[in-house]
């Protein structure tokens, strides 16, 4: 795998020739509809058949290694004739080592029940689990019904395990602290909810449960832990699994409604898998910034592995970006966009895509037809690669995408180049 960043003057034909692949393959791999619609700074994932590199002007051992997802030591180990690593000649042929994939990867994808079937079917081959979002809990321990049967059938047909998701959300999707307090504060309601869950799991033929309770009052921490312990016992007795979704914390005592009731250590004991919600630093109503800056994601993972076994952790990855109108006004929502849509916006507005080396995320500025300024942050092959390397570095079990309602082909090219995706 090569991640090529489009430079001024690049064409798809020239890029294909450079790496020894056809224009057709380059377009199909990256799901490009028009070979002439390139943006400076855009990434293309190249899957070459050759195992060598011809040095171009400006190449260094470091830049070559980065392009192929290798280290400089990998390159030097395959080219023992190089006596001075700081000197490579234009036109020189360098061998590229074949590096074994890092490990098996568990991949969860959240989706909504109304996901477009064609879009879903393009992502399902790359998933271990499909978590259908969501059953809303009711104050009496019931669940608001959703039309999830068609999505469950689609998942099962390609050996993807469907997961039932429960949330303390209201209509409109807002997490409600008071609702969770009512449910978690009563043992009778907890048991009523668990019985409803078990009946739904059996009726709908789910493989497991994902509990995503957010914005809990701090005083509900122990009640939440009690509920998870009861849920685990109920589920395991019938052969089902339990996963939980938890806020991105840096420390055990991190203050705030999002964090205080989420007990990392207890979740690590009670759940079979724990999903870190490592996104939304840049969020819908917040100031413009990367959605999942790698330096902040790293901080969460560094803390998480001290409390939760790494082999239980799925690291969250956003499959979306935001388009903010400038100047930013607090409380004004950004526009949610897909990652391919971000590149299209850049193309339509003549913007070059930049890359933040600290956040390891792409962004760009543009002015719309009304001359309003905008900034867009999103994900590309480089930012996905950085996140996947973090998974490998900390030996995590896998990743979890919010959401797979949009197809992002470059993501799957990067993931499958580094890992073997597990089917259970």
Per-residue confidence (pLDDT) for residue 399, from 0 to 100:
98
Cα–Cα distance between 306 and 6 in angstroms, integer? 40
Q: What is the mean pLDDT of residues 39-43?
A: 98
Per-residue confidence (pLDDT) for residue 51, from 0 to 100:
76
Mean pLDDT of the chain: 94
Considering only CA atoms, which of 271, 262, 276, 302 is closest in space to residue 399?
276
Cα–Cα distance between 164 and 206 in angstroms, integer? 6
Contact status, residue 290 vs residue 356, Cβ threshold 8 Å:
yes
Q: What is the mean pLDDT of residues 275-280?
A: 98
Instruction: Calculate helix-pair angle for 187-204, 221-237, nearest 10 degrees.
Output: 40
Contact status, residue 38 vs residue 6, Cβ threshold 8 Å:
yes
Per-residue confidence (pLDDT) for residue 84, from 0 to 100:
81
Contact status, residue 119 vs residue 405, Cβ threshold 8 Å:
yes
Map out the domains of the chain with their CATH numbers.
2-95 (3.10.350.10), 103-421 (3.20.20.80)
Contact status, residue 29 vs residue 416, Cβ threshold 8 Å:
no
Joined together, the tokens standing for residue 44 give 């293309």
Cα–Cα distance between 324 and 328 in angstroms, integer? 7
Determine the 3-state secondary structure of 104 from DSSP: strand
Other Cβ atoms closer than 10 A to 293: 22
Cα–Cα distance between 15 and 29 in angstroms, integer? 13
Contact status, residue 211 vs residue 133, Cβ threshold 8 Å:
no
Task: State phi, psi for 298 to the nearest 5 degrees.
Answer: -60, -40
Per-residue confidence (pLDDT) for residue 127, from 0 to 100:
96
Please identify which of the residues 154, 171, 202, 214 carries the catalytic annotation.
214
**pLDDT higher at 50 or 182:** 182
pLDDT tens figures, 318-354: 999 999 999 999 989 999 999 999 999 999 999 999 9
**pLDDT higher at 49 or 335:** 335
Contact status, residue 160 vs residue 127, Cβ threshold 8 Å:
yes
Q: pLDDT over 90 for what percent of the chain?
A: 83
214 among known catalytic residues: yes
Per-residue confidence (pLDDT) for residue 238, from 0 to 100:
97
Per-residue confidence (pLDDT) for residue 71, from 0 to 100:
82
Per-residue confidence (pLDDT) for residue 97, from 0 to 100:
79
Contact status, residue 2 vs residue 46, Cβ threshold 8 Å:
yes
């Amino acid at each position: 795998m090569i991640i090529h960043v489009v430079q001024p003057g690049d064409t798809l034909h020239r890029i294909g020739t450079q790496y020894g692949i056809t224009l057709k393959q380059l377009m199909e791999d990256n799901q490009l509809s028009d070979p002439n619609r390139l943006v400076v700074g855009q990434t293309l994932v190249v899957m070459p058949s050759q195992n060598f590199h011809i040095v171009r002007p400006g190449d260094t051992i470091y830049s070559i290694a980065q392009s192929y997802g290798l280290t400089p030591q990998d390159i030097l180990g395959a080219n023992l004739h190089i006596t001075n690593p700081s000197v490579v000649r234009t036109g020189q042929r360098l061998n590229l080592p074949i590096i074994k994939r890092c490990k098996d990867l568990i991949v969860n994808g959240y989706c909504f029940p109304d996901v477009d079937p064609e879009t879903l079917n393009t992502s399902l081959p790359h998933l271990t689990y499909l978590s259908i979002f969501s059953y809303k809990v009711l104050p009496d321990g019931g669940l608001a019904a959703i039309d999830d049967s068609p999505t469950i059938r689609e998942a099962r047909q390609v050996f993807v395990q469907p997961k039932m998701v429960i949330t303390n959300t209201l209509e409109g999707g807002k997490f409600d602290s008071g609702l969770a307090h009512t449910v978690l504060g009563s043992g009778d309601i907890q048991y009523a909810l668990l019985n409803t869950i078990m009946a739904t799991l059996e009726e709908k033929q789910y493989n497991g449960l994902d509990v995503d309770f957010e914005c809990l009052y701090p005083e509900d921490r122990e009640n939440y832990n009690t509920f998870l312990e009861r849920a685990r016992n109920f589920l395991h007795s019938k052969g089902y699994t339990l996963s939980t979704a938890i806020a991105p914390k840096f420390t055990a005592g991190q203050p705030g409604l999002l964090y205080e009731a989420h007990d990392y250590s207890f979740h690590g004991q009670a759940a079979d898998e724990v999903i870190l919600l490592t996104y939304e630093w840049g969020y819908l109503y917040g100031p413009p910034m990367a959605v999942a800056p790698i330096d902040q994601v790293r901080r969460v993972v560094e803390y998480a592995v001290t409390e939760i076994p790494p082999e239980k952790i799925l690291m969250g990855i956003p499959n979306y970006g935001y388009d903010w109108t400038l100047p930013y006004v607090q409380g004004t929502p950004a526009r949610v966009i897909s990652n391919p849509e971000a590149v299209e916006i850049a193309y339509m507005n003549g913007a070059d895509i930049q890359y933040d080396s600290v956040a390891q995320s792409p962004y760009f500025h543009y002015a719309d037809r009304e001359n309003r300024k905008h900034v867009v942050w999103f994900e590309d092959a480089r930012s996905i690669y950085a996140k996947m390397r973090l998974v490998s570095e900390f030996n995590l079990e896998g990743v979890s995408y919010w959401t797979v309602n949009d197809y992002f082909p470059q993501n799957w090219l990067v993931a499958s180049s580094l890992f073997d995706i597990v089917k259970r």
